[in-house]
Amino acid sequence: MTIQTDLYDYVHDFIRLESGYEQCAVALSLAGPAVQAPYIEITMIRHERTKTTGVTSGVYRTEFEIECWHTNTMKAEEMAALVSGLLQDYAGEMGTTQITGTRIYNEFSGADSDAESFYRSFTVLFTHE
């Protein structure tokens, strides 16, 4: 497993089983054109580790953009608050990945007028082994 699939499983299980959004779809990267709100898109935007001459760090830094889509602004913000609350300051095992630190930033909102959907998104940075 990778951090990407571990994060997907963690968010998917939480949102579908514990948050009251049983009908919410979760997608890695982009949701398909047939997907209707509510849904969550998880997109990896950076995955790196420090490399210097002769030494490669065993610690990775991986960033994801998470977009929570719904049919109105309030519901999109509510979903994003649930997911960011789940991930805020997370440390420990997430599937097969050992997370040592988590930072959430770059929060913003928007809309897709053609699809009549609204989103709230944020970036999450994991430091992990």
For 33-51, what is each residue's pLDDT tens digit?
888 899 999 999 999 987 7
Angstrom distance (rounded) from CA 52 to CA 50: 7
Query: Residue 84 — left, alpha, or beta (φ > 0 → left; ψ -120 to 50 → alpha)?
Result: alpha
The per-residue pLDDT for range 52-83, each reduced to its tens digit, is: 777 777 789 999 999 999 999 999 999 999 99
Cα separations (Å) of 89 from 51, 92, 108?
Answer: 26, 10, 19
Task: Break the chain into its structural domains and give their ranges.
Answer: 3-128
pTM, to two decimals: 0.91
Q: Where does 3-128 sit in CATH, by number?
A: 3.30.2000.30
